[in-house]
């Protein structure tokens, strides 16, 4: 069954970029306002899910040639790895730190190691959600 869904596709193209931007914003702003790794990852995954629904899986597979299982595994590894990273500096497992840096273009910016941890969380969420949805949709 092929239905003509030009409008849907056009809108989806636009909307998915808005969602992607939102995802990045949510991820970056997580330390001070609502957002963070989990939500950022989930929003990112929902952008992919939208694309998967509007287009067929094969098209998106070629456009996004990631193995999402590996993305998930890498995310989990990154989260655990940052925990061990603290050990190398003689700190406790998983302890985080932060400081303020004067970066060009951004001005004074706060950089926190928790960002790496959260990135791991986000990647794990994206990987797991997309893996589940893909494997269920390929099953039927």
Partner 1 sequence: MTTLIIAIIFPFIAAAIIPFLYKYVRRIHVGWFALVVSTGLFIYFSQFIPTIANGDVITITLNWIPSYGINITSYLDGLSLTFSLLISGVGALVILYSIYYLSSKESLGHFYTYLMLFMGAMLGVVTSDNMLVLYVFWELTSISSFLLIAFWYQRKRSRDGAKKSLLITVTGGIAMLVGFIMVGQMSGTWSIREVIGNVNLFNNHYLFIAAMILVLVGAFTKSAQFPFHIWLPDAMEAPTPVSAYLHSATMVKAGIYLVARFTPVFGGESIWFWAVTGVGLFTLFWGSFNAVRQTDLKALLAYSTISQLGMIMSMFGIGSAALNLGYSTESVAFTSASFAALFHLVNHSTFKGALFMVVGIVDHSVGTRDIRRLGGLITLMPVTFSIALIGSLSMAGLPPLNGFLSKEMFFMAVVNISEAEFFALETWGILLPIIAWVASVFTFVYSMILVIKTFLGPYQEEKLEHPAHEPKPGMLVSPIILALLVIGIFFFPNIIGKNLITPAMAGIFPNLAAEGAELSESIYAWHGFEPELFMTIGVVLFGLALFFTKRYWVGVYKLFPQKWSFNVFYSFMLDQVEEKSTGFTNAYMTQNLRDYLVYIYLFFIIAIGGILIYTEAYQFELPTNAAISNFELITALAMMSAAIAILFAKSRLTAILLNSILGFGVAIFFVLFRAPDLALTQTIVESVTTVLFLAAYYFLPEWKKEDTPKKTRGTNLVISICVGVVFTVIALMVQSGKTFESISKFFEDSYELAGGKNMVNAILGDFRALDTMLEVIVLLIAGLGVYIFIKLKNNNKEGEQYEDK
- Using the rule CB under 8 A, is 69 a contact of partner 1? yes
Asked whether 77 and 117 are in contact (CB, 8 A), the reply is no
The correct pick among 12, 39, 54, 60 for binding partner 1 (CB under 8 A) is 39
Q: Does 126 bind partner 1 (CB under 8 A)?
A: no
Q: CA neighbours within 13 Å on the CB side: how many for 114?
A: 16
Residues forming beta bridges with residue 99, ordered by sequence position? 111
- What are the structure tokens assigned to 116, written together? 């790496």
- Among the residue ranges 10-18, 54-62, 92-100, 101-109, the one whose residues contact partner 1 (CB under 8 A): 92-100
> Under DSSP, is residue 33 helix (H, G, I), strand (E, B) or coil?
coil
Could you tell me the end-to-end alpha-carbon distance of the chain, in angstroms, rounded to an integer?
15
Q: Is 120 in the site for partner 1 (CB under 8 A)?
A: yes
Instruction: Summarize as ranges the residues that interact with partner 1 (CB under 8 A).
Output: 26, 30-39, 42-43, 45-46, 49-50, 53, 69, 72-73, 75-76, 79-80, 83, 87, 90-94, 96, 98, 110, 112, 114, 117-118, 120-121, 124-125, 127-129, 131-133, 135-140
């Amino acid at each position: 069954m092929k239905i003509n869904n030009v409008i849907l596709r056009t809108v989806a193209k636009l909307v998915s970029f808005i969602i992607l931007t939102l995802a990045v914003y949510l991820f970056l702003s997580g330390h001070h306002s609502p957002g963070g790794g989990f939500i950022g990852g989930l929003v990112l995954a929902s952008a992919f899910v939208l694309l998967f629904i509007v287009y067929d899986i094969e098209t998106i597979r070629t456009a996004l040639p990631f193995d999402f299982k590996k993305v998930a595994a890498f995310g989990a590894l990154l989260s655990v790895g940052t925990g061990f990273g603290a050990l190398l500096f003689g700190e406790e497992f998983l302890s985080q730190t932060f400081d303020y840096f004067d970066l060009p273009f951004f001005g004074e910016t706060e950089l926190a190691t928790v960002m790496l941890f959260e990135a791991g969380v986000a990647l794990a969420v994206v990987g797991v959600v997309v893996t589940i949805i893909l494997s269920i949709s390929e099953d039927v």
